[in-house]
Amino acid sequence: MAFDVAADSYTRFMGRYSEQLAVRFADRLGVVPPADILDVGCGPGALTAVLVERLGAVAVHAVEPSASFHAAAQQRLPHVAIRRASAEDLPYDDDRFDGALAQLVVHFMTDPVAGLREMARVTRPGGIVAVNVWDYAGGRSPLSTFWRAARELDAAAPTESHLAGAREGHLEELLTAAGLRSVRGGDLEVAVPHPGFDDWWAPYLLGVGPAGDHVRGLDEERRTELRERCRTLLPQGPFEVRAAAWCAVGVVP
Q: Cα(94)–Cα(132) distance, rounded to whole angstroms?
A: 23
pLDDT bin (cut points 50, 70, 90) of residue 178 is very high
Whose CA is closest to 229, among 146, 142, 143, 156? 146
> With contact defined as beta carbons under 8 Å apart, do 211 and 205 qualify?
no
Whose CA is closest to 173, among 163, 162, 185? 185
- DSSP code for 176: H
pLDDT value of position 32 = 95
- 191-201 pLDDT, tens digit each: 999 999 999 99
> With contact defined as beta carbons under 8 Å apart, do 68 and 42 qualify?
no
pLDDT value of position 158 = 86
pLDDT bin (cut points 50, 70, 90) of residue 2 is very low
- 167-176 pLDDT, tens digit each: 999 999 999 9
pLDDT value of position 40 = 98
CA gyration radius for the chain?
18
> With contact defined as beta carbons under 8 Å apart, do 208 and 6 qualify?
no
- 205-253 pLDDT, tens digit each: 999 989 999 999 999 999 999 999 999 999 999 999 999 999 999 999 9
Instruction: Give the pTM.
Output: 0.94
* Tally of CA atoms within 13 A in the half-sphere of 95 that contains its CB: 4
Task: Give the pLDDT mean for 24-43.
Answer: 97
Residue 240, number of CB atoms within 10 A of its CB: 9
Residue type, 133: V
Q: Which residues contact 148 (CB under 8 A, 6 or more apart)?
A: 139, 233
pLDDT bin (cut points 50, 70, 90) of residue 6 is confident
pLDDT at 4 over 90: no
- 127-163 pLDDT, tens digit each: 999 999 999 999 999 999 999 999 999 999 988 999 9
- DSSP code for 160: S
**Angle subtended by helix axes 144-153 and 220-233, to nearest 10:** 120
Residue 189, number of CB atoms within 10 A of its CB: 13
pLDDT at 3 over 60: no
pLDDT value of position 1 = 42
- 59-104 pLDDT, tens digit each: 999 999 999 999 999 999 999 999 999 999 999 999 999 999 999 9
